[in-house]
Chain A
């Protein structure tokens, strides 16, 4: 089974900072060896100035400040037995995250929440949305959770939401890779109101049986990897029920596939995975349906 050896940690030192890195140490059990730190200097901030053209001094100062901060973090990582690398680039954050993730061959991208939003809600920033739309890698929308002053292991109790699609299959592969860092995995499927409206009572019974069978197979596979696992078949609204299930079972992380519905299609039809990522109180890992990198 593939391991999660390398992760990309893009930061502007506001949305994602060192406590997040500490929380990710837990991935060592899943094979984590190296963290690549990325700081992107937005080109519009330092370039196209009518007088100074490209403001090299400002750019160099920003890069140096980032390097010093990363150097400090890297010391901590060495103490933890992890390798690290810091990259500072000028460009657009979205493009550079994709470019560096391809160049460094990372296994997962970490993304933060946007500032200045209510604490009860994560707002997926333009950069996160852009990365989600274009990457083939899993993206973890990180939510920092502490209990009694201690950072909670975000991978301890995983909720895996599946609709049995090929993308959900890719998400399940990721869950198996995360399994060594977890103590329990809840496999969840939500039968929606639409399913109930479209089918007869017998057909619904059949569907329930089919879903339970598929989830049962996943549970067995996870148990085979030495992870405790349970299946939960729910009925109602995907976003509401996944979030409710997350609360009921005190899960620390949600993993689900995202079908690539973005922009106008998302505004019109909605995207359950994006809503879950926005409203969840815990971290959410979204696995895209794309298979290849653009870079």
Chain B
């Protein structure tokens, strides 16, 4: 059905990219190699800006066209970068495209798919009372587990029990909004498994447990929002008439064996670092791209966990969870376009003051700049590419021309606060709009289907983000980034 068209689009995109690649290979190498970022024109960033703006604007101006044709739109931008890039820079361009797909895109999608698949196999049934205390406990559980099962996984796991608990309540909109704030975004800040930008950072060389340094800002932000939620919920709870219906169905969790697979995913990601050391950083070559064997084994393990979850979990559990592949397919298609269009932008940024985006690296200087610029852009563009752009801006600023893993290591050792600001900005401010982070719109959709009146795109920003989140971010800025 919907996927047939998408598969055609993917095949066509790959065809065009491969056609360009063949042309590039046949014409011989361009001889650019190192320092490509210094030679690239700013115009090469147009497809990247185009795809991000398409994601931000097209769903608003042409929602139906976007919903049915987002794959083609992503493919259009991908091809519009790939063909001229390959023709101009031949083997160097081909290497960069291959590299970003093999080293970044595929592991990224595999992790999201594995967490989404495994979490979707766990089903909570039965109902709780929906009192302010119970709601806070559910939000707290969601916030705590999001870093380990991913924000999408945590949202999928808890949104329905949260909605069932509050089905009898009259004002439910703010409850779902705070669920988006805490479970879909802020909770995912402690590990690379939690939120896509942090996993991209991990792939680039940020150590797995470094993200635990986000604990302090995360706790402050979560505490502020939790107190505000408790006060709001208590106010409405007292004002509303009625009481929770007596539930005959006992609380039950099915598909619990999926926790083993979640453990397997966590072990695979953490273990890949140690395994890499044990294998003395051994690599395999796919054409000119070097891939650490440990990373290949990690990805194979993640696929295995997802497949085992699919094979061992009754399909009926996923159906009762109203599980759909659509959100993950949408992410996969959009990111296939985002990653390829992002290649020249990242290279230019890595070149620092020698690249054509020196104006950006020169303008964004202080941690507070990084926090707010990364954050504001993450609110409207996807937070994962935004994180990478500003990570590379920082690297270009302080360690221009140095290979990313070495530069990241130096950044952590000497300018850690910058990475902290970028990470906090990308993760926290993904909550500012429905399009900031993938689970936001998924939760909105589930809530609306369940009869909760959710605010419009701008209503969400004006009534909730500007009122509750932005003042909290100001507090975070003063405490951590000034």
Give chain A's interface residues, CB within 8 Å of chain B.
42-45, 47-56, 90-92, 95, 98-99, 134, 294-295
A50 touching B434 in the complex, CB below 8 Å, given contacts A91-B319, A294-B314, A294-B316: yes
Beyond A95-B315, A98-B319, A294-B315: 18 further Cβ-contacts under 8 Å?
A43-B326, A44-B326, A47-B324, A47-B326, A47-B445, A48-B327, A48-B441, A49-B66, A49-B445, A50-B63, A51-B59, A53-B434, A53-B445, A53-B447, A54-B448, A54-B449, A90-B449, A91-B319
Bound-state Cα–Cα, A47 to B159, Å? 15
State whether the Cβ of B322 lies closer than 8 Å to any Cβ in chain A. yes
Which residues of B lie under 8 Å from residue A43 when comparing CB positions?
A: 322, 324, 326, 449
Does B138 touch A at the CB level, under 8 Å? no
Q: Which of B249-282 contact A (CB under 8 A)?
A: none
| A134 contact set on B, CB distance < 8 A | 315
CB 8 Å contact bits of B450-468 with A (1 = contact, 0 = none): 0000100100000000000
Residues in B whose Cβ lies below 8 Å from that of A91: 319, 322
Residues 52 to 100 of chain B near chain A (Cβ within 8 Å): 55, 59-60, 63, 66-67
Q: Is the CB of B324 within 8 A of A48?
A: yes
User: B445 and A54: CB pair below 8 A?
Assistant: yes
Known contacts: A44-B2, A44-B324. The answer to whether A49 contacts B319 by CB under 8 A is no
Q: Indicate if the CB atoms of B63 and A49 lie closer than 8 Å.
A: yes
Determine the interface band of chain B, counting residues with CB < 8 A from chain A: 20 to 34
Contacts of A95 in B (CB 8 A): 315-316, 319
Q: Can you name 23 A-B residue pairings with CB atoms under 8 Å? A: A44-B2, A44-B326, A47-B445, A47-B449, A48-B324, A48-B327, A49-B67, A49-B441, A50-B59, A50-B66, A50-B67, A50-B441, A51-B60, A51-B66, A54-B444, A54-B445, A54-B447, A54-B448, A55-B63, A95-B316, A99-B319, A294-B314, A295-B316
CA distance A47 to B326 in the complex (A): 9
A47–B446 alpha-carbon span in the complex (Å): 8
State the Cβ distance, A135 to closest chain B Cβ, in Å.
Answer: 12
A54 contacts across to B, CB distance below 8 A: 444-449
A137 to chain B minimum Cβ distance, whole angstroms, is 15
> Is A92 a contact of B324 with CB atoms below 8 Å?
yes
CA distance A95 to B66 in the complex (A): 27
Chain B residues engaging chain A, CB cutoff 8 angstroms: 1-2, 55, 59-60, 63, 66-67, 314-316, 319, 322, 324-327, 330, 434-435, 441-442, 444-449, 454, 457
A52 / chain B contacts, CB cutoff of 8 Å: 63
- Bound complex: CA of A38 vs CA of B445, how far in Å? 23
- What is the bound-complex CA distance between A98 and B66, given in angstroms? 32
3 residue pairs, one from A and one from B, having the closest CB atoms:
A54-B448, A95-B319, A50-B59
Q: Which A residues lie within 8 Å of B327 (CB)?
A: 48
A65 CB to nearest chain B CB (Å): 17
Query: What is the CA–CA distance of A295 and B320 in the complex, to the nearest angstrom?
Result: 10
Chain B residues positioned under 8 Å from A295 (CB to CB) = 316
Cα A45 to Cα B326 in complex, Å, equals 9
Task: Provide the bound-state CA to CA distance between A95 and B316, in Å.
Answer: 7
| Min C-beta distance of A62 to chain B, whole Å | 13
Q: How far is the CB of A180 from chain B (nearest CB, A)?
A: 34
Closest to B66 in A: A50
Task: Give min CB distance, B15 to chain A, whole Å.
Answer: 23
Contact A50 B435 (CB under 8 A): yes
List the A residue with the shortest CB-CB distance to B315. Answer: A134
* Chain A nearest Cβ from B235, distance in angstroms: 26
Quick one: which of A48, A99, A294 contacts B442, CB cutoff 8 A? A48
CA distance in complex: A128, B449 (Å): 26
Quick one: given A44-B324, A47-B324, A50-B63, are A56 and B448 in contact (CB under 8 Å)?
Answer: yes
A95 to B322 alpha-carbon distance, docked (Å): 10
Q: Is the CB of B319 within 8 A of A42?
A: no
Cα–Cα distance between A125 and B454 once the two chains are bound (Å): 36
Chain B proximity of A11: nearest CB distance (Å) = 16
In the complex the two chains form, is A51's CB within 8 Å of B63's CB?
A: yes
B59 in contact with A92 (CB, 8 Å) = no
Q: In the complex, which residue of chain B has the Cβ closest to the Cβ of A44?
A: B326
* Cβ 8 A contact of B319, one of A50, A55, A90, A92: A92
Residues of A within 8 A of B434 (CB): 50-51, 53
